[in-house]
Amino acid sequence: MYPFFRLALQMRRARRDGPLPWNGVHRSVLRCWPSDLDPWRELNNGRTLTLYDLGRVPLGARLGFDDLWRDRRWTITVAGASVRYRRRIRLFDRLVVLSRIIGWDARFVYVEQSLWRGGECANQVLIRWAVTGPEGLVPIADVVAALGWPAMSPALPGWVSAWIAAEATRPWPPEVGP
């Protein structure tokens, strides 16, 4: 089940923290609970993505996306992700999720998130956000203008550009189907 209660707590904290500039870092403090574990008593890899939601949704709220949702019915959707796992996370470990925008292009906003345990990075994810509205995908130029961000994105790091290029060569739909 999705952790709606945990999300509500994170959103309350985000509202208390106030607005964030586009290049600011949002910090979420979490704990690994029994419902987050896999059969090996470690943080489940799928649940890791859910914990990243608990950092990304408040990030979006602090950046002003809640106003766009209310005023224009624009929503954020994950359009791609690449996760790097490096350290195990166990029951009751205290976790810090750091979330930030690293740039954008004509179609997507790129978000970097990292999950820290005891001062050590346990894993990292690169998320590609798309913004959708009642008519479909919203051009990112419209989004950055509505949010008051700079019209031009900072240069994306090389590893992000390489990921974007690799994703462009990936076949869709997948070659193996039903």
* Cβ atoms within 10 Å of 98's Cβ, excluding its own: 17
Determine the residue type at 176.
Answer: V
Q: What residues are paired with 114 via a beta bridge?
A: 98, 124
> What is the rounded CA–CA span in Å between residue 128 and residue 111?
6
CA 24 to chain CA mean position, Å = 14
Instruction: Please state, in angstroms and rounded to a whole number, the distance separating the CA atoms of residues 97 and 114.
Output: 6
Q: What is the predicted pLDDT for the residue at 1?
A: 85
Q: What is the pTM of this model?
A: 0.94
Phi, psi at 65, each rounded to 5°: -65, -25
CB 167 within 8 A of CB 120: no
- List Cα–Cα distances, 149 to 4, 22, 37, 145, in angstroms: 30, 6, 38, 6
DSSP β-bridge partners for residue 126? 82, 112
b/e map of 48-73 (b: 16 or more CB within 10 Å)? Answer: bbebbbbbbbbbbbbbbbbebbeeee
- pLDDT tens over the chain, length 178 residues: 899 999 999 999 999 999 999 999 999 999 999 999 999 999 999 999 999 999 999 999 999 999 999 999 999 999 999 999 999 999 999 999 999 999 999 999 999 999 999 999 999 999 999 999 999 999 999 999 999 999 999 999 999 999 999 999 999 999 887 8
Closest by CA to 86, choosing from 56, 123, 44, 114, is 123
Nearest to 166 by CA among 128, 115, 137: 128
Q: What is the pLDDT of residue 10?
A: 97
- Structural domains present in the chain: 4-168 (3.10.129.10)
